[in-house]
């Protein structure tokens, strides 16, 4: 199967319309409806085998972009092992730094990850990423850069990121929360001023949370590559969630699941993103990949736009979801 490919902004990299995110594959706990029920055995070796199965299915399905992070448990390790075992040279790997995984391979940990955007954390984590991935990832992103994290005013860390860019790594950031747009626009200002050469953005956009769309379009217009995470709203936009009946009807019309419909809607946004599948099992990945076969009419897209909710309300509800 071939997925639509596109240039990743003006970075010189090439990506596919759908990528695979490792958040639900690299650790036994994640914020996703029904995640624990999918996994069953959560031993390290069982998780490693499952990650390999999903990665193989993604590659066979045409996916050529894998996204991971230092805080995704053993996500980078699993990706690196898989790449070495399979010998794939055509997979774009993006990773993230700034959170440290602290759950000790449990689901019921009080704290699953600790955020720190200091230059010390960056230097430690880029060394770890290089070790697991046998070198630099193609894209290295600040994980959940927010206006209150201090990263945008941290001259030492921004300088370190600029130095990494000189090695040929595309520097990016991921954003989260109701302040996504503000963080993106601040990063665009820093990049335009020459303070740090940001060229990649990963953000949450889905049928419920659309507020970041204009900022993502501004990033795309600046030549940045765009990655969409949580296109299924952590499982809420699936048959397991509480998706409205209109989605069920529209999905049935296109002979796909709600998940594929939601991902298809994300993929046709004007900021031309790579939309990440967060599948933890091959069956869900296969269903997600059907998004590439869905062609939505303008009338359907107009109907889907009515599902958007207030951004603050969306993030409040997301914050109430449990790790499982």
Sequence-distant (6+) residues with CB within 8 A of 119 are 154, 156, 157, 160
How many other C-beta atoms lie within 10 A of the C-beta of residue 120? 11
Residue spans per domain, the chain: 5-317
Please give the CATH number for the structural domain made up of 5-317: 3.20.20.100
Supply the DSSP string of 39-98, one letter for each residue: H---SHHHHHHHHHHHHHHHHHTT--EEE--TTSTTHHHHHHHHHHHH---S-EEEEEES
Kindly give the confidence (pLDDT) of every residue in the chain, 324 residues in length, as a single tens digit, with 9 standing for 90 and above.
Answer: 689 899 999 999 999 999 999 999 999 999 988 888 888 899 999 999 999 999 999 999 999 999 999 999 999 999 999 999 999 999 999 999 999 999 999 999 999 999 999 999 999 999 999 999 999 999 999 999 999 999 999 999 999 999 999 999 999 999 999 999 999 999 999 999 999 999 999 999 999 999 999 999 999 999 999 999 999 999 999 999 988 999 999 999 999 999 999 999 999 999 999 999 999 999 999 999 999 999 999 999 999 999 999 999 999 999 999 999
pTM above 0.95, yes or no: yes
């Amino acid at each position: 199967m071939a997925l639509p490919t596109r240039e990743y902004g003006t970075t010189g990299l090439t990506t596919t319309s759908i990528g695979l995110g490792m958040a639900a594959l690299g650790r036994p706990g994640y914020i996703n409806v029904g995640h624990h029920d999918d996994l069953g055995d959560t031993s390290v070796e069982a998780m490693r085998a499952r990650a390999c199965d999903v990665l193989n299915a993604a590659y066979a399905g045409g996916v050529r972009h894998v996204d991971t992070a230092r805080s995704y448990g053993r996500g980078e390790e699993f990706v690196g092992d898989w790449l070495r075992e399979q010998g794939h040279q055509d997979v774009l790997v993006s990773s993230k730094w700034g959170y440290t995984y602290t759950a000790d391979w449990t689901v019921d940990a009080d704290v699953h990850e600790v955020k720190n955007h200091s230059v010390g954390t960056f230097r430690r984590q880029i060394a770890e990423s290089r070790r697991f991935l046998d070198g630099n990832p193609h894209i290295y992103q600040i994980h959940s850069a927010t206006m209150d994290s201090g990263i945008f005013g941290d001259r030492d860390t921004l300088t370190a990121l600029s130095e990494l860019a000189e090695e040929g790594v595309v520097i990016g950031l991921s954003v989260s929360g109701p302040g996504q747009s503000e963080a993106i626009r601040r990063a665009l200002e820093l990049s335009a001023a020459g303070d740090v050469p940001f060229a990649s953005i990963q953000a949450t956009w889905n049928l419920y949370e659309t507020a970041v769309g204009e900022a993502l379009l501004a990033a795309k217009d600046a030549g940045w590559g765009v990655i969409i995470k949580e296109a299924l709203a952590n499982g809420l936009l699936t048959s397991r969630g509480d998706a409205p009946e209109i989605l069920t009807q529209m999905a049935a019309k296109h002979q796909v699941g709600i998940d594929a419909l939601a991902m298809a809607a994300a993929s046709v946004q004007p900021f031309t993103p790579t939309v990440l599948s967060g599948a933890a099992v091959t069956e869900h990945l296969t269903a997600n990949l059907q998004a590439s076969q869905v062609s939505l009419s303008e009338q359907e897209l107009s109907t889907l736009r009515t599902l958007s909710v207030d951004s603050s309300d969306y993030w409040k509800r997301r914050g109430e979801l449990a790790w499982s």
